[in-house]
Amino acid sequence: MRNMAIKQEGYLIIGAITALYASVITLFSLTPSNDLLISIIRICALLALTSMFISTIMTPFMVQLYKYFGKPFVKIHHTFSITAIILATVHPIAFSIQAANLGVFIPVLYPWYDFWLLAGRPALILIYIALLAVILRKKIPKTWRPLHALNYIALFFGYIHGILIGTDFKNIGILILFTIMVISSYIALIYKRYQTYQRNQKRKERLAKQQ
């Protein structure tokens, strides 16, 4: 099927996404670092969370996005998901180089505060499990969606990790912006579940009428 032209609403969404990324980069630039690796560590973390937010908040609006962009939702969703995965991977790699320690990839489960302090580590594992679930979705049709939903937990883990240890989250602008993003993602998740509930109810009603 040939893709349709992007509609005005699509360009507005592109503008909003561009403005969001620009806002994050601008707020990041307010506390510059002279160390290139530290700058990479910080900006990758911020943009990874931003990309995860965009990919998750899109999910309840698959039909609308197709109308606005003339492309299947999956292509748009995967663009931001892949971007998030790449940035979330570069973040600890750069940190491991800066710290000269591969232990930065190993989750810390105890004590409880340290788990949350270093919650970015299990978050990365959850992101890869969610990715693997998508790759294997045809082989695990009943379980891939719950596994893919681990991205929401990963987003929360990354957010808490940023609050507790992130340099940029000391900036009130960053804190407010990312708090809004995380809350919006979970509102979108609830709305998505509500849509599923409505579809199931309508299906039950149709079946009841056929009987």
Instruction: Let me know if residue 2 belongs to a domain.
Output: no
| End-to-end C-alpha distance for the chain, whole angstroms | 37
Instruction: Let me know if residue 196 belongs to a domain.
Output: yes
Residue 127's domain spans which residues? 8-210
Instruction: Let me know if residue 135 belongs to a domain.
Output: yes
Looking at every residue in the chain, the average pLDDT score rounds to: 93
Instruction: Let me know if residue 3 belongs to a domain.
Output: no
Instruction: Give the pLDDT band of residue 149 (cuts 50, 70, 90).
Output: very high
Instruction: Let me know if residue 99 belongs to a domain.
Output: yes
Instruction: Let me know if residue 132 belongs to a domain.
Output: yes
Instruction: Let me know if residue 125 belongs to a domain.
Output: yes
Q: Outline where 100-149 has alpha helix (H).
A: 112-117, 120-135, 144-148
The pLDDT of residue 116 is above 80: yes
- Which pLDDT score, from 0 to 100, does residue 2 have? 54
- Which pLDDT score, from 0 to 100, does residue 92 have? 96
The pLDDT of residue 1 is above 50: no
Domain count along the chain: 1
- DSSP letter at 105 equals G
Neighbours of 49 (CB within 10 A): 28
Identify the CATH number of the domain in which residue 63 sits: 1.20.120
Instruction: Give the pLDDT band of residue 70 (cuts 50, 70, 90).
Output: confident
Average pLDDT over residues 147-152: 95
Instruction: Let me know if residue 1 belongs to a domain.
Output: no
Q: pTM for this one?
A: 0.91
Asked if 37 contacts 94 with a C-beta cutoff of 8 angstroms, the reply is yes
Q: Is 119 helix (H, G, I), strand (E, B) or coil?
A: coil
